[in-house]
Amino acid sequence: MFFYLLRHGQTDWNMQKKVQGRTDIPLNGAGIRQAEKMAEAMDGIPLCGIWASTLERAAGTAEILRKRREKRGEDIRLVLLPELKEVAFGDWEGKTLKEVEKLFPEDYHRWTENPAFQTPTGGEKREELTKRAADAVEKMVKSLKNSGKAGRKDAAAIVAHGGILVYVIAYLLRKETERREIIVENASITKVEYDPETGTGHLVFMNDISHLSQDERTPWKADLRKKEGE
């Protein structure tokens, strides 16, 4: 089967480079348009279900996808999963990265060196995130199996956040020997072929934003592991 992993559209905090985490920030006008373009780009793909984070920016993006399908005569169910909420960034939420660096310099610099292994101050630990992502995938797979929609040609959409999608994708690809950097921008589409019987996943493509014009894309933050000026 196939999973299409979609990141929510833009928010005001994305543009202000603030850490969002669990803070429930809605889509802005540009984010709504991004979500509409992403939903349009998914038109040719038969979906048997949509799962999304309960936070408004992801749930709103997923609802735009569901409504477009409904207008096309498709009866598709949208399920909100708490397990797909964004990473909890604790004391960093609501602050820009420059503010985080000033207030929590040691934690911040350890995080920029290796964000997969450093917990944000007061935030969610890597082990917790790994388990949460696994629980989300297994819950979706169980639901699809029960409905008879976990076959080779079946496809489902997951609409969530940049942080937690990294862990979801990593879980789907957990049997791959290649280790890759996982990046998902606003309103991006990532496709993974997944065999629920063996737990084997194959990355088809990642971070596709070709459906957005250059002006419609959210400016991407610099690689945090590089020194300024590199």
Tell me which of 133 and 230 has the higher pLDDT: 133
Average of per-residue pLDDT across 83-95 = 97
Which long-range contacts link 24-29 to residues 24+ away (Cβ below 8 Å)? Answer: 24/55, 24/56, 24/57, 25/56, 25/57, 26/56, 26/57, 26/60, 27/56, 27/57, 27/60, 27/61
Q: In this model, does residue 223 exceed pLDDT 60?
A: no
CA–CA–CA angle 74, 83, 209 (5° rounding)? 55
Tell me which of 221 and 115 has the higher pLDDT: 115
Residues 6+ apart with CB under 8 A from 209: 185, 186, 187, 188, 189, 217
pLDDT of residue 118: 84
pLDDT of residue 181: 83
52-65 pLDDT, tens digit per residue, is 999 999 999 999 99
pLDDT band at 221 (very low <50, low <70, confident <90, very high): low
Mean pLDDT for all residues in the chain:
93
